[in-house]
Amino acid sequence: MAIAEGSSAGPLTATGTDPRNVDGQAICITVFSTVKWWGRLWLPLVFLYARLVPSAHGKLARLSFIHFARWTLVERLPEQRLRHPHLFFESNFNGGWEEYIDAFSHILTRGMTLFWGSSYGFPKPLPTGRFKDYIKRHQIVASHFYSAYPDATTTIVLSSLELDAKLRDFRQRTQGMDPEAFAHAWRAFVTDVQRCL
Amino acid sequence: MNSDPDRSGQAGALTVLTPIAHGAEPALRAYLEGLREGASPLARLPRTHFGRWVIVSELVPDDEPQPDRLAGPYLLFTASFDGPLDSYLDELCDELAAEALEIWGRCAGAPQPPTGAPLKAYLRAHHQTTGFFVAAYPQATVGDVRAALAQREDVIAFARAAQGMDPAQLHAAFHDRLGG
């Protein structure tokens, strides 16, 4: 069974996502998987590697639609004895669910295996069909999801922050300029920040 | 390197798993799903980028090779937030006092009423430390992001309007509208 539960909040959105997992452009995904015994030793090393090696972040940064994501090894629960540790994954992203999983599989092929390779039933990231089925079966629909800036994609946020830095620099550089020189500088500025607009 | 696994730059990750009291799941689910009808209570926590409540009835599907069956459902709360965890929890326990009664008030072992320092201690005790937390813009606060988004709209509008201006008009209009 897929473990999406509760009454439906309506039909799936155009992006193929349960509306309870959506706030504006933002989408959330919540996944637990059962970890084999050796994952208890392996995953902390993977996490440490990911934190220590900046290039591990580089590939994630290429997934330009992720705002925030996290992986957590859950070994204990209050009032519950767990025979196995569990890997908890959550992501806050924008775009379509299918495209998200596709991009994850194609760009982070090795990283996905590092993170989920110790989970029972994990198929290889490629081809993506079996991996999508795996995620669909393991994801849990949120009862409430919130984004502080629901209409902004990750790309727009990053563009806006880059534009802010460049505008601060432009203000400084053009202080005291006469109108002719300012107009010239403005045209160059607009060309420079075109991709942020 | 980030030595604190719950942080990425100035951003923090909060992950809390609490057992739901026996028989309380349907009412809790109905309450949480009803929050969609109005403004999210998390909007009253201005340091929250993203947050979610998820009812975990089972951790994994029952046809998993080695499933751990839960004795009862759990409530997962996560947030990606700005700054220190301690003051964030203070704000949460203070600002969401009414909602906490409906949410963590239905969790086993929660203080009654679930408010203030006792709620903070309860949430801390059920916090799961993150393994790896990644943020696309780890140094930007919610305020930074919102200000940058609004400013981008202003710049786009100004760039359109400026197309017909002569240098003197452009100079004056920029300092008037985008001068900082």
Percent of chain B at pLDDT exceeding 90: 91
Distance from CA of B43 to the nearest CA of A (A): 7
Contact B59 A90 (CB under 8 A): no
Structure confidence at residue A2 (pLDDT): 44
Domain ranges for chain B: 7-125, 142-177
Quick one: DSSP state of residue A19? G
> What's the pLDDT score for residue B1?
56
Q: What angle separates helix B85-95 from helix B116-125, to the nearest 10 degrees? A: 130
Which residue of A32, A171, A197 is in closest CB contact with B156?
A: A197
Q: Do B149 and A152 touch (CB under 8 A)?
A: yes
A9 has a pLDDT exceeding 70: no
CA distance B46 to A13: 28
What's the gap in Å between the CA of B147 and the closest CA on chain A?
Answer: 9
Say what the pTM is.
Answer: 0.93
CB of A157 closer than 8 Å to CB of B166: no
Residues of B in contact with A83 (CB under 8 A): 66, 68
Question: Cα distance from B89 to chain A (closest Cα, Å)?
Answer: 17
Q: Over the range A24-37, which residues count as b (16 or more CB within 10 Å of their CB) and which as e?
A: ebbbbbbbbbbbbe
Q: Is the pLDDT of residue A6 over 50?
A: no
What pLDDT shows up at residue B145? 98
Residues A56-109: pLDDT tens digits? 777 777 778 999 999 999 999 988 889 999 999 999 999 888 888 888 888 888
- Chain length of chain A: 197
Domain architecture of chain A: domains with CATH = 19-138 (3.30.70), 154-196 (no CATH)
Distances (CA, A) of A58 to A43, A49, A83, B62: 20, 13, 35, 36
Q: What is the pLDDT of residue A96?
A: 85
**Residue range A38-50: mean pLDDT, rounded:** 95
The CA–CA distances, whole Å, from B26 to A2, B19, B55, B112 equal 19, 14, 10, 20
Contacts of B62 in chain A (CB under 8 A): 1
Contacts of A193 in chain B (CB under 8 A): 155
In whole angstroms, what is the distance from residue A43 CA to residue A72 CA?
A: 9
Q: How far is B86 from chain A (nearest CA, A)?
A: 20
Residues A188, B158: Cα–Cα separation, whole Å: 15
pLDDT tens per residue, range B12-71: 999 999 999 999 999 999 999 999 999 999 999 999 999 999 999 999 887 787 789 999
Q: B65: which 2 tokens?
A: 């090779």
The residue whose two tokens read 């004895």 is: A81
Question: In the 3-class helix/strand/coil scheme, how is chain B assigned residue by residue?
Answer: CCCCCCEECCEEEEEEEEEECCCCHHHHHHHHHHHHHCCCHHHHCCCEEEEEEEEECCCCCCCCCCCCCCCCCEEEEEEEEECCHHHHHHHHHHHCHHHHHHHHHHECCCCCCCCHHHHHHHHHHCECCCCEEEECCCCCCHHHHHHHHHHHHHHHHHHHHHHHCCHHHHHHHHHHHCCC
Q: Identify all chain A residues contacting B51, using CB atoms and an 8 Å cutoff.
A: 145-146
Q: Tell me if A78 and B178 make a contact (CB, 8 A cut-off).
A: no
Which residues, other chains included, contact A128 with Cβ-Cβ below 8 Å and sequence gap of 6+? A101, A102, A105, A106
In which band, very low, low, confident or very high, does the pLDDT at B2 lie, cut at 50, 70 and 90?
low
Note the ipTM here.
Answer: 0.95
Residue B46: closest C-alpha in chain A: A148
Dihedrals phi, psi of B25, to nearest 5 degrees: -60, -45
Closest to B131 (Cα-Cα) out of A18, A35, A105, A162: A35
Contact at CB, B61 and A164, closer than 8 angstroms = no
CA proximity to B100, closest of B84, B118, B83: B118
Please give the average per-residue pLDDT across A156-171, as a whole number.
97
For residue B152, give the nearest of A23, A92, A163 by CB distance: A163
- In A, minimum Cα distance to B47 occurs at A148
For residues A44 and A80, which has the higher predicted lDDT (pLDDT)?
A44
Lowest mean pLDDT among A10-24, A124-138, B10-24: A10-24
The C-alpha angle with vertex A6 and arms to A78 and A35, in degrees rounded to 5, equals 45
Q: Does domain B7-125 have CATH number 3.30.70?
A: yes
Quote the minimal CA–CA distance from A85 to chain B in Å. 9
Here the tokens at position A31 are 């996944």
Q: Cis before residue B113, ω within 30 degrees of 0? A: yes
Omega before A127 cis (within 30°)?
yes
State mean pLDDT over A133-158. Answer: 96
